[in-house]
Amino acid sequence: MSQKLSVVGKRIIQPDAAAKATGAAMYASDLKMPGMLIGKVLRSPYPHAKIKRIGKSKAEKLPGVEAVITPEDVTQWKPFDRGLKDLPMIAGGYLVPPDEHILNERARHFGDAIAAVAAINEHIAEEALELIEVEYEELPFVIDPEEAMKPGAPQVSDVAEGNIGKHLSYPFPEGDVEKGFKEADCIVEGTFSTTKQEHCTAETAAAVAHLDVNGRINIWSQCQVAHMARREIAHIFNMPVSKVKLMTPLVGGGFGQRGSVCAEPICIALALKTGKPVKLEYTREENFTALESRTGFKYNLKIGFKQDGTLTAMQVYMLGRLGGYMGCGPMASVIGMVFGLGHYRCPNRAGEADMVMTNTPVSGAFRGFGNPAMMWGIEQLVDEAAEKLGMNPLKIRLKNIKKAGEIANMGLRLESTYLDECIKRGAEAIGWKEKWGKKKEGKMRRGVGIATMTHCSGAAPLYLDHSNAFIKLNEDGSADLTVHPAPLGQHIWGALSQIAAEELGILAEDIHIVTGDTDITLFEYGSDASRSTYAIGSATLIAAHQAKEQILERAAKMLGVSPDELEIKERQVYVKANPKKSIPVADVCYDAIYNFKGECLNISGKCSWEGRWNSSPTGAFFAEVEINTETGRVKVIKFVTAIDCGKAINPMTVEGQLEGGMQQGIGYGLTEDYIINKDTGVVESDNYDTYKMPGILDMPETEVVIIDKPDPKGPFGAKGVGEPGMVGVAPAIANAIYDAIGVRIKDLPITPEKVLKALGEKSQ
Amino acid sequence: MARLLKPFEYFEPRTVEEAVQLLSKYGHQAKVLAGGTDLLISMKKRKITPQYVVYIKSIPELDYIHYSQQAGLKIGALATHTAIADSAIIKDKFELLASACGKVGTPQVRNMGTIGGNICEGGPSQDSVPSLLVLEAKLKLISLHGERIVPIDEFFIAPFKTALQEAELLTEIQIPTPPPRSAGCYKWFTKITTVDESLAGVAVLMLLDSTDGICRDLKIGLCSVAPTPIRARRAEQVLRDKKIDNSLIERAARVAVEETSPRSRADYRKRMTGVLVREAISETWQKIRQLHLRERA
Ligand SMILES: Cc1cc2nc3c(=O)[nH]c(=O)nc-3n(C[C@H](O)[C@H](O)[C@H](O)COP(=O)(O)OP(=O)(O)OC[C@H]3O[C@@H](n4cnc5c(N)ncnc54)[C@H](O)[C@@H]3O)c2cc1C
């Protein structure tokens, strides 16, 4: 595609930037309605307990309290699934009947919802919570998945026997791993563990709900998958989908946590009970304990290589901690195996996982899903093998990475890949040649490390990859584009505007995004799986193309030529051969709408798009670290991410995604630890004083290298770039640590204590 | 953590007298509010739910930094961490205190948080305290019954428990001028991230004889490694009246480690105390030698 682009590829300012910079932007937490009540939730202080009695009369009597609801008040509504309810079936069927209620009479984890109140203000609502009297019967609990699998362990869920939420297999197994390992000259293996990272969205979960005069539930929801959230809400509240109107305000970060319903069910229950609008906004602690966070794994990984570095076999067994309810957690293992085992070319691959229920907060989707967890181990073992085989870590990777046309991680054709260029250009940027493998001495030691990854652009073929776009041209030549991605801070509106404007030959600022209301928007799967620009962008491109053809057809008539003689540039339709002959797009659109000659038409286009291919983004990550061998502290000095995300629709937002990914990846690698007290089951790290994300002062010098070569399938050659940024960060750091001090840390996060311990063991 | 505070009655006295009157009237149900960077968190966590809150930043006479050679340094309880960290005289003559206050939290916290609040909070990890311990600060406490002066090393009793009595206000921190040819420093490691609570903090103040290189005096103050901030007095003895060398410094560091009793991450905190004590003494030693060289020149 050597097309000359005039809007795509430009660093345009985002349509919502000014509102966000000035504070005028409206988030769910900013919404106010006349007579609106404030909701609050009472949560279990125990990891596992039966509610023997709830006394709510004191709370009900508090002036200003309009409703106090307990498990027995919500029995008419259905239990629900936090995740996407069809997803499990497609991935091999782990469906356990949903058994999480809006409020639960048996708390299955610290922070489980027990009761809720609605009051005229937040103060009274908080006070009312303190007046609810709960008599708990504490039950034996289990935190650790290995313990949970033992006979006689406390049962977390009635529907998951032996606490096995589900046993899952790698959906794309290949060859015979035993044979593969026999053929190997070098086998590396290890046990790796990863943590329950929390999303730390800037805005906590929030929702506003009310029942309108027509008896429809109106819900302002942050959910990343709006239309499926509407379906889930209708299901829970025994209503037809037509009785739910779901609206998406600006969302202060999702990262997968808003891939499920969060505050919505309790908020709606309170609105239905009171008949008044209710806002429910979670505290930071609730965000940590009541919602899903990353699935923690422990896994055994084994990889075989030929003497020349060629991969012969990969095998993994994963043990994952699900928490008190199923959530999206089980899929993290499947996706981890799909991306991890499918990253390199390897003829023999197998993987199994047991996803185990425990009395801990629920696990779910988080940027990269299982990919960061699997690459944490794979990329360390590849380095280990490289050392054994006397190969450079770059070479061994270049040898095994896939080429375009091979079968990609998701079982479809690998449409394009420039991972080799990512590796070469990233290595240059970090100074690999001068820095790697050098002898290190002294107290402070530096090292460099690499990791690579392949991800996805959308969910096809594992899940319904269905997007829609509708575009109409106004009489002034501007266009309204109706789409429903979740505006999570990734600036998707800008990217879609650029795609539509490029195709229509108008400017990005001419596109007005119509969105955020399921009454208006067509079905949209939503913003996850790094799919919005790719999938919704594809739908947008086709819709815009249809509209463009109508413009050309009418312009052709007006100019007395045929449509294929025309082109549109900067809001003007030109005769290609004679550019002096032209007509403004606006004139064509005006004439179409106000046509008194009997040929009225509102120029428009509409596309239902379903992913039948999936262009994989690839990337290489490079860390330079400095380790203080006396304190064990690791400082990331520089981080480089080289990304093949196809054509960058807006390089500025690509950089934003990747820099954000570095920050999350450094946190995953070094600082973030979700601590659950083993003796009490209490979540101890439930706010930023105890759960430590890297701050601005912890960030290294960063560099993003965008390869910027178009993919044959994506809109204007784009591929997904939302999740990739954090996938390879932690293993690149671990490999850099090995280069610096010769020790390997296999369990996350890499704390100073672990580094010192490993150094101590090494010197013995 | 709740988002809102429990209701309370709020006062803004204009004078110390008014403040202590209010405090004695309401006794244990009253709480002093200075910058609020500790107190408001405890109130939101419902660890403390005072009925009466006495805001003291309304008392202008408590916010000052004065210095004279004779009287030494006098800091009003309301001086903020920013004011102390930026003060020319403190940077010049009490640098270890300036760097301790400059370490606290973020600019916002330093602009709001006061040294009085840091001391009266009485936790194990108050960053200003090790420096105040080695500088042998004295605290002026005022109540309706009058005024008393308490040496800072008698102030800390147990975690979050101090010698401050009910209805007593800390008004001033008095710090004698360190002898000439002395130097000091404050060193710390944070728990995890760059802006974070201290994992361990070490202040050192040393007096060295320029003629024979003998350490005439050494004081070591520690925070975050014991239930309260402490002096490492046995470690101090290792160097006092000795000619300093690296192996003695190592020994002092080892002894200091033995004097700690951390409550969590104990092994690591102990080990890091050793590293910090060694680094702090070495750095101070360097500083003094440079001072001597400059004096001679
Ligand atoms: C994000 C953050 C980071 C922080 N980082 C650090 C850090 O790195 N190092 C550190 O040491 N601290 C840190 N702190 C804690 C806090 O900022 C300091 O302890 C600060 O000095 C407290 O002062 P204040 O004026 O805000 O005290 P307040 O919160 O107003 O009061 C604290 C306590 O002292 C009492 N009190 C205050 N003044 C007086 C007085 N004159 N007489 C009697 N009693 C009094 C109050 O009643 C209360 O019990 C941090 C706090 C936050 C929120």
CATH number at residue B129: 3.30.465.10
- Ligand 1 pocket test target in B31, B38, B152, B166 with most atoms within 8 Å of CB: B38
pLDDT tens profile B89-127 = 999 999 999 999 999 999 999 999 999 999 999 999 999
Using CB atoms within 10 Å of the CB of residue B14, give its burial: 0 to 12 exposed, 13 to 18 middle, 19+ buried: exposed
End of a domain among B175, B198, B228? B175
A226 plus A350 within the same structural domain: no
Q: What angle do CA B217, B98, B194 make, to 5 degrees?
A: 110
Q: Whose CA is nearest to atom 3 of ligand 1?
A: B105
**Can you give the CATH number for the domain in which A333 is found?**
3.30.365.10
C-alpha dihedral (A494, A651, A663, A447), degrees to nearest 10: 170
A585 and A512, same domain (yes or no):
yes
A257 secondary structure, DSSP code: G
* Minimum CA–CA partner of A687 in chain B: B1
CA–CA distances in Å: residue A94 to residues A88, A174, A355: 5, 22, 10
Q: Based on the domain organization, do B257 and B207 belong to the same domain?
A: yes
Taking the C-alpha atoms of residue A562 and residue A425, their distance in angstroms, rounded to an integer, is: 47
Residues spanned by the domain of A278: 31-139+200-290
Residue A31 neighbours by CB under 8 Å, 6+ apart: A208, A220, A249, A279
To test the ligand 1 pocket, which listed residue (B22, B32, B165) has its Cβ within 8 A of the most ligand atoms? B32
CB atoms B189 and A694 under 8 Å: no
A286 lies in the same domain as A307 = no
E strands of chain B, at which residues?
Answer: 9-11, 30-33, 52-55, 65-68, 72-76, 138-143, 146-151, 156-158, 161-162, 169-175, 182-190, 198-208, 215-223, 230-231
Residues B273, B189, single domain; the answer is yes
Rounded mean pLDDT of B131-148? 97
Q: A371-389 and A393-400 helices cross at what angle (nearest 10)?
A: 120
Would you state the torsion angle of the CA atoms of residues B15, B19, B21, B27, taken in this order, to the nearest 10 degrees?
-170
Residues of chain A contacting residue B265, judged by C-beta atoms under 8 Å apart = 753
In sequence order, the β-bridge partners of residue A37 are A278
Phi-psi region of A648 (alpha: psi -120 to 50; beta: other; left: phi over 0): beta
Distance of alpha carbon A15 from alpha carbon A12, whole angstroms? 9
Clarify whether residues A238 and A342 are in a common domain: no
What length is written for chain A?
764
Contacts of A123 in chain B (CB under 8 A): 4
CATH number of the domain to which A275 belongs: 3.90.1170.50
Name the minimum distance, in Å, from the CA of A688 to any CA of chain B.
10
Q: Are residues A204 and A186 in the same domain?
A: no
Residues with pLDDT less than 70, chain A: 1-3, 84-96
Chain A residues whose CB is inside 8 A of the B194 CB are 695, 697-698
Give CA–CA dist B222/B110, Å, rounded.
21
Kindly state whether residues A115 and A221 are assigned to the same domain. yes
Same domain, A126 and A250: yes
- Nearest residue to A726 via CA among A615, A619, A644: A619
0.95 exceeded by pTM? yes
Closest residue to atom 38 of ligand 1, CA basis:
B117
Give how many domains chain B has, as a whole number: 3
What sign does the dihedral A737-A742-A744-A748 (CA atoms) show?
negative
CB contact under 8 Å between B191 and A698, yes or no, is no
Domain of B220, CATH number, reads 3.30.390.50
Q: What Rg do the C-alpha atoms of chain B give, in angstroms?
A: 20
Ligand 1, atom 47, residue with closest C-alpha: B32
Contact A279, A271 (CB under 8 A): no
Supply A71's token pair: 């498990």
**Is the CB of B1 less than 8 angstroms away from the CB of A633?**
no
Residue B2 maps to a domain: no
Dihedral sign computed on CA atoms, order A506, A507, A508, A513: negative
- Percent of chain B whose pLDDT exceeds 90: 92
Q: With CB atoms and an 8 Å threshold, state whether B194 touches A752.
A: no
Residue ranges lining ligand 1, Cβ < 6 Å? B 31-39, 56, 77, 103-105, 109, 112-114, 116-118, 120-121, 126-127, 164, 169-170, 197
Q: Look at residue B38 and tell me if it is in a domain.
A: yes
* Mutation site for B-interface testing, chosen from A120, A123, A131, A289 by largest number of B Cβ within 10 Å: A123
Regarding whether A481 and A569 lie in a shared domain, the answer is yes
Query: Encoding tokens for residue A629?
Result: 């061998």
The pick from B101, B104, B170 for probing ligand 1's pocket by mutation, whose C-beta has the most ligand atoms within 8 angstroms, reads: B104
Asked if B44 and B72 sit in the same domain, the reply is no
Q: Is B290 helix (H, G, I), strand (E, B) or coil?
A: helix
- Distant-in-sequence, close-in-space partners of A218: CB < 8 Å, separation ≥ 6: A209, A210, A211, A212, A245, A247
Mutate to test the pocket of ligand 1, among B120, B129, B152, B166 (most ligand atoms within 8 A of CB): B120
| Structural domain includes residue B137 | yes
Ligand 1 centroid to residue B34 C-alpha, Å: 8
pLDDT, one tens digit per residue, over A58-113 is 999 999 999 999 999 999 999 988 876 666 555 555 556 788 999 999 999 999 99
| % pLDDT > 70, chain B | 100
- Interchain proximity B193–A695, CB inside 8 Å: yes
φ and ψ at A513, to 5 degrees?
A: -90, 125
Domain match, A230 and A280 both? yes
Residue B3 lies in a domain: no
| Alpha-carbon span A408 to A713, nearest angstrom | 14
Contact status, residue B252 vs residue B277, Cβ threshold 8 Å: yes
Question: In whole angstroms, what is the distance from residue B37 CA to residue A689 CA?
Answer: 13
Task: Name chain A contacts of B267, Cβ cutoff 8 Å.
Answer: 753
B22 in Cβ contact with B168 (< 8 Å): no
If asked whether residues B193 and B291 sit together in one domain, one would say yes
Residue A105 lies in a domain: yes
Q: How many whole angstroms separate alpha carbon A528 and alpha carbon A292?
A: 15
Q: Minimal CA–CA distance to B107: which of B88, B86, B128, B89?
A: B86
Flag whether A655 is in a domain: no
Q: A561 in the Ramachandran plot: left (φ > 0), alpha (ψ -120 to 50) or beta?
A: beta
Mutate to test the interface with A, among B47, B189, B190, B193 (most CBs of A within 10 A): B193
Closest-CA residue, ligand 1 atom 2, reads B105
**Looking at the domain assignment, is residue B254 inside a domain?**
yes
Q: Is A610 exposed, middle or buried (0-12, 13-18, 19+ CB in 10 A)?
A: middle
> Would you say residue A579 lies in a domain?
yes
Backbone φ and ψ of B236, nearest 5°: -60, -40
CB pairs under 8 A between A and B: 40
Contacts of B215 (CB under 8 A, 6+ apart): B206, B207, B208, B209, B239, B240, B241, B242, B243, B244
Q: How far is B90 from chain A (nearest CA, A)?
A: 26
Q: How far is the C-alpha of A356 from the C-alpha of A346, rounded, in Å?
A: 29
- Which residue in the block uniquely carries the two structure tokens 């759960």? A691
Is the same domain home to B23 and B76?
no
Distance between the two ends of chain A, CA-based, in angstroms? 59
Q: What share of chain B is helix, strand, coil (3-state, %, to 5)?
A: 40, 25, 35
Q: Of A610, A637, A670, which closes a domain?
A: A610
What is the number of domains present in chain A? 3
Indicate if A602 and A544 belong to the same structural domain: yes
Of the candidates A202, A131, A248, A207, the residue with the CA atom closest to the CA atom of residue A526: A248
Q: Do B66 and B167 have their domain in common? A: yes
The rounded Å distance from CA A377 to ligand 1 centre is 43
How many angstroms separate the first and last alpha carbons of chain B?
A: 59
> Residue A337: inside a domain, yes or no?
yes
A477 domain residue, yes or no = yes
Last residue of a domain, one of A335, A365, A395: A365
CA angle A731, A734, A735 (to 5 degrees): 90
CA-to-CA distance for A724 and A713, rounded, in angstroms? 19
CA distance A168 to chain B (A): 36
B214 in a structural domain: yes
Identify the pLDDT of residue A1.
43
Helix (H) or strand (E) holding A399, with range, is helix A393-400
Structural domain contains residue A617: no
Please give the structure tokens belonging to residue A704. 């993003």
Same domain, B67 and B85: yes
Distances (CA, A) of A690 to A427, A665, B107: 36, 18, 20
Output the 3-class SS for A32-45. Answer: CCCCCEEEEEEECC
Asked if residue A578 belongs to a domain, the reply is yes
CA-based nearest residue to A607, from A487, A504, A718, A466: A466
Q: Which of B145, B175, B205 is the last residue of a domain?
A: B175
Question: Would you say A704 and A420 are in contact if contact means Cβ atoms under 8 Å apart?
Answer: no
Q: Among candidates A512, A515, A509, which has minimal Cα distance to A473?
A: A512
Q: Which atom of ligand 1 is nearest to the CA of B62?
A: 41
What was the pLDDT predicted at A377?
98
Q: In the structure encoding, which two tokens stand for residue B139, read together? A: 């605290």
Q: Flag whether A661 is in a domain.
A: no
Residues of A in Cβ contact (< 8 Å) with B197: 689
DSSP for A205-242, please give it. PEEEEEE-TTSPEEEE---SSHHHHHHHHHHHTT--GG
In a domain, B4, yes or no: no
| Bridge partners of residue B38, in order along the sequence | none
Number of H helices, E strands in chain A: 21, 28
CA distance A112 to A99: 13
Q: How far apart are CA A44 and CA A24, in angstroms?
A: 36
Residues A333 and A205 in one domain: no
CA–CA distance, A199 with A255 (Å, rounded to integer):
6
Q: Which of A246, A271, A290 is the last residue of a domain?
A: A290
Q: How far apart are CA B219 and CA B186, in angstroms?
A: 12
Whether B191 and A692 lie within 8 Å, measured CB to CB? yes
Residues A152 and A92 in one domain: no
Closest chain B residue to A285 measured between Cα atoms?
B1
User: Can you give the residue range of the structural domain that contains B144?
Assistant: 60-175
B31 within a domain of the structure (yes/no): yes
| Block residue for tokens 């259905």 | A78
